[in-house]
Amino acid sequence: MNNHQFENYIAAHTSPVGEALDEIYRKTWLTTIYPRQLSGPLQGKFLEMISRMIQPEKILEIGTFTAYSAICLAKGLKSGGQLTTIEADEELEEVINENIKLAGEQDRIKLLTGDAIDLIPSLPDTYDLIFLDANKLAYPEYYPLLRERMEPNGFMLVDNVLWNNKVIQPEITDADTNAIRRFNQLVAQDPMVEQVLLPLRDGLMLIRRI
């Protein structure tokens, strides 16, 4: 069985994400320069399932892109809950707001634009669930800031922690790969958390604050 057959089999046995997310997925691939930044249906459904299991009151997302993952995560919010998402690229603001409205989540998703490194310390809340999928070079810098924003027994999901399997190839030493290696090491050595690294798409780490 080749990879295409394998992916088709997985897709056929995974529940659909819904019409709004299908439309956002289609538009993202048609209109953005780096559509592979999108979580996509498999990871999107996984994010939704994790959020529904946790039933968070407050979610923080770093890296909105076109709001696909934010919408998936928001489906698991408790009644009256809110998701705050931070996007560095101000040019995406209009698209993000359109997509959030298309999904009917405009009352539960709050968008902030700017550098997350600057914005995170000013946030007034702690969070039951955090999703990090942003600038890979900044992953080691994000980590201590975000860990302090986790509720006890709160969870953090971090995308791209395998980085196309480059992290296990010592001859690859570009800045992004080294930053992700450093992030993974920081988490593994942190006595305040426990974690599991899942080989889902490009690697997804689930972290729990003890």
* Average confidence (pLDDT) over 89-114: 97
Tens digits of residue pLDDT in 119-150? 999 999 999 999 999 999 999 999 999 999 99
* Average confidence (pLDDT) over 98-116: 97
* Domains contained in the chain, number: 1
* Average confidence (pLDDT) over 33-60: 94
Grade residue 35 by pLDDT with cuts at 50, 70 and 90.
confident
Grade residue 1 by pLDDT with cuts at 50, 70 and 90.
low
Percent of the chain with pLDDT over 70: 100
**Mean of the per-residue pLDDT values of the chain:** 96
Three-state DSSP string of 31-98 = HCCCHHHCCHHHHHHHHHHHHHHHCCCEEEEECCCCCHHHHHHHCCCCCCCEEEEEECCHHHHHHHHH
Distance in angstroms (rounded) separating the CA atoms of residues 205 and 121: 23
Q: CA-based Rg of the chain, rounded to a whole angstrom?
A: 16
Distance in angstroms (rounded) separating the CA atoms of residues 47 and 26: 19
- Contact predicate 62/131, CB 8 Å: yes
Tens digits of residue pLDDT in 18-30? 999 999 999 999 9
Q: Where in the sequence is the domain holding 202, given as residue range(s)?
A: 3-209
Distances (CA, A) of 150 to 96, 116, 129, 165, 208: 25, 16, 7, 28, 9
Q: What is Dmax (Cα atoms) for the chain?
A: 50
Q: How many CB atoms lie within 10 A of CB 71?
A: 28
CATH of residue 105's domain is: 3.40.50.150
Measured N-to-C along each axis, helices 40-54 and 3-12 cross at an angle, to the nearest 10 degrees, of 40
Tens digits of residue pLDDT in 166-208? 999 999 999 999 999 999 999 999 999 999 999 998 999 999 9
Q: Please, which residues bridge with residue 113 across strands?
A: 87
**Is residue 38 pLDDT above 90, yes or no?**
no
Distance of CA 110 to the CA centre of its chain: 15
